[in-house]
Amino acid sequence: MISVEEHGAIGIVRLENGQVNVLDLDLLRALTETFRSQAGAGALVLTGAGRAFSAGVDLRRILDGGREYAAAFLPALSTAFRTVFDHPRPVVAAVNGHAIAGGCILVAACDVRLMSAGTIGVTELPVGVPFPPSALETLRFAVGPATARLVLTGQTLSAAEAAAVGLVDEVVDPESLLDEALSRARQLANIPTETFRLTKAQLRGRTSERIDADEVAYADRLLDAWTGEPARRAISRYLDQLKSRRT
């Protein structure tokens, strides 16, 4: 579900889960474990296998697993977001294709974000589920004033549009995406370790504090909202719409 390629001091972490690298409980746990095991790397590049970075949460498993699955999934989702966001070393996103909902949040959690193809955006509200605090605050950290518009509309953006609002830093040709990501990662890895670690903690510390507080305050309400009948109906409608588009 996760592969790691070593390029000297840089590790390329690649999501590999089905055709569009959906986020399920197994992948989230593997991603968290991988990032924690790579704490000694000079820097990391996060990308996806195939034609997508990640299409977001595996909604079918949310429906099929019911409350028990969601009760395990939601904390694992937040932990994965936080593990990327708080990783002590540089993390560069190489967005090779669609990065939707949770996939978009993983991109936003990275220090440098390069994109070559696909669309990116947060579609949680159109799907019918609320944002975990880790997702909302990570997005706010990345795009600031644009957060409310992206959240409330569920709009998905092209690479150029994403760069215009700061969701990605640069649009890169697909052929050079990984090379450019590795180059950026090496540049950041050359910064003295403690200098980078301290600066990153200063940049992100207030966001992490808000996440900590809100995750305690909203945990029960989030689980109820994700597993209640209104959300289940909305998710089912969304999945039906996706199926009809493919046929």
Q: What amino acid positions are annotated as catalytic residues?
A: 124
Q: In the 8-state DSSP scheme, what is residue 146?
A: G
* Dist CA 138 CA 108 (whole Å): 6
CA proximity to 163, closest of 117, 105, 99, 114: 114
How many whole angstroms separate alpha carbon 83 and alpha carbon 64? Answer: 27
155-160 — which CB contacts under 8 Å span 24+ positions?
Answer: 155/121, 156/100, 156/119, 156/120, 156/121, 156/123, 157/119, 157/120, 157/121, 158/119, 159/95, 159/115, 159/116, 159/117, 159/118, 159/120
- Could you give the CA distance from residue 101 to residue 62 in angstroms, rounded to a whole number? 15
Please, what is the Cα angle at 150 between 61 and 245, to 5 degrees?
50
CB-based contacts of 190: which residues, under 8 Å, 6+ apart?
Answer: none
What's the CA gap between 240 and 4, in Å, rounded? 35
